[in-house]
Amino acid sequence: YSLLFPLCILSFIPHQEPRFIIPLLFPLIILSQRIFRNKTCRILWFILNSLCLAFYGFFHQGGVYLSSSYLHDVLQNSNNTAVVFYKTYMPPRFLLGIKKDDISIYDFAGMNEQKFLTSLHNLEQRNLGNIFVVIPFGVLKVLDNSTNIFKNYVMIERKSNFPHLSTEMLPNSSEFKFLFDSNKSLFLKIFELKEIFSLHILNYKKI
């Protein structure tokens, strides 16, 4: 009970991450010795940890670092620019290497789509040279369906960073319908699947 009680208490506290119960890892290992004598349990443990490694180590917000590296290089030669992060983690600002006062970073976090579009429209009024929008795949349709956001800007580049999975906006089942389309080649299906699990950077330049 001295182990299970604090484990339950820590688990019920909202907005906590698995790392907060790391202090309980060592006693759990000791208590699990009997369980690991069973071969089936060892196999299940290996499979579960492999899945967690793939998810937390590569897919979960995996495109954030790659996007930061790309923006770090691009922003060195940019002026009067805004960078917007939406429905994904915003990286620490030092990773972007921003040393100019005319480059602004905006974290739109998980605001609703209408407010997001309104915020983008307001950015246009600032007469910026470039606007970078960093978004997961699901938001691309939102921008495609809203033709009146940027009247004085044109998208000059779109970069995809794979792998990436944003729990703030998980893919829905309708986005995978193409997998059952017999008219599409395997190569095209793999490409579209890669796009779904990528973080996208859209570069809008003032006309």
Q: Where are the domains of the chain?
A: 61-206
99: helix, strand or coil: coil
Residue 22 token pair:
């790391």
- Domain 61-206 fold is Rossmann fold (3.40.50)
d(CA 108, CA 88): 9
Report the C-alpha gap between 89 and 202 in whole angstroms: 16
Give the model confidence (pLDDT) of 49-97 as tens digits.
899 888 888 888 889 988 999 998 888 888 889 999 999 888 888 888 8
Is the pTM higher than 0.75? The answer reads yes
In three-state secondary structure terms, 175 is: helix
pLDDT digits (tens, 9 = 90+) for 134-185: 999 988 888 877 766 778 888 888 999 999 988 778 888 888 888 888 888 9
User: What angle separates helix 113-124 from helix 137-144, to the nearest 10 degrees?
Assistant: 60
Helix (H, G, I), strand (E, B) or coil at 147: coil
> Is the CB of residue 167 less than 8 Å from the CB of residue 60?
yes
